[in-house]
Amino acid sequence: MTKNLHTLFERRKHIGETRGREFWRASELGPIFGFSEPRKFEEVISAAEGALAKKTDPSIHFHRGRNDILMSRLACYLVAKHAGVEDLLRSSARANLSELNKRLSSAAKQCGISENYDFAIFMNEGYKGLYNDMGYSEIHEAKGLKKSHHILDYMGVLELYANSSKAEQTIEALKAGGVIKDMGKACNIHFATAVKARNAFTKEMGTAPERLSVPEKSIAQVDSAIRKAEKQAAKPIPIGHK
């Protein structure tokens, strides 16, 4: 399940016909999250929805129809946390961010940022905007990571979502600005957009990205542990074993 979870999750994604927003159906997500009984899954959804209602209007992310509940990506992540299966979605959230960062890299190249060193500076401005003036190195130190560790591998689904929102909004902001062959202006746009993403996330979640808990294990370690558990569960029981 771990190997294909990202594919399974993304395949269940729907795109709204009017505004083009992505959403997932609770009826299709329940089995992926390990729920065979829809009623129990709906109880978890209600808990996640109720927690979000204390901070913002939950209808932005949860839409209850006659026969199903439609959920945004953030809603899915919140439900996963309440269901205790957040680790199952960390790889998917990381993969989604990776795809967005590829698109952000392409957008940056259109602004004349082609060298790796310059792109690192551009990305650091985004981190500073999202993390209250903390760059990559400061975030790395605050998380208490080893030198070989990457900060994105030690983020939970909500922190990865915050970074994804920042990347997606920056791509749109750079496009809206037209052809900008100016690294300084592109960096300013990245920083300013990241600040907006930070403010929106903090308002919805009631906490800033840098205040979220740091997972003890990396995404790779979690995936490895889940794969081992799946292999163990798939082993046939010896004859005569009780």
How distant, in Å, are the alpha carbons of 74, 107, 175, 224, 242 from that of 103?
20, 6, 11, 28, 54
| Number of C-beta neighbours around residue 129 at 10 A | 25
d(CA 176, CA 170): 10
Task: Note the pTM of the prediction, 2 decimals.
Answer: 0.88
Confidence at residue 241, expressed as pLDDT on a 0 to 100 scale: 47
Q: 179, 113 in Cβ contact below 8 A?
A: no
Q: pLDDT under 70 in the chain at which residues?
A: 1-6, 17-19, 179, 230, 232-242
Q: Which two tokens stand for residue 50?
A: 């109720």
Confidence at residue 242, expressed as pLDDT on a 0 to 100 scale: 42
Long-range contacts of range 150-153, CB-CB < 8 Å, 24 or more positions apart?
Answer: 152/94, 152/97, 153/94, 153/218, 153/219, 153/220
Confidence at residue 18, expressed as pLDDT on a 0 to 100 scale: 59
Which residues, 6 or more positions from 6, have their beta carbon under 8 angstroms from its beta carbon? 91, 92, 95, 96
- Residue 86 phi, psi (nearest 5): -55, -40
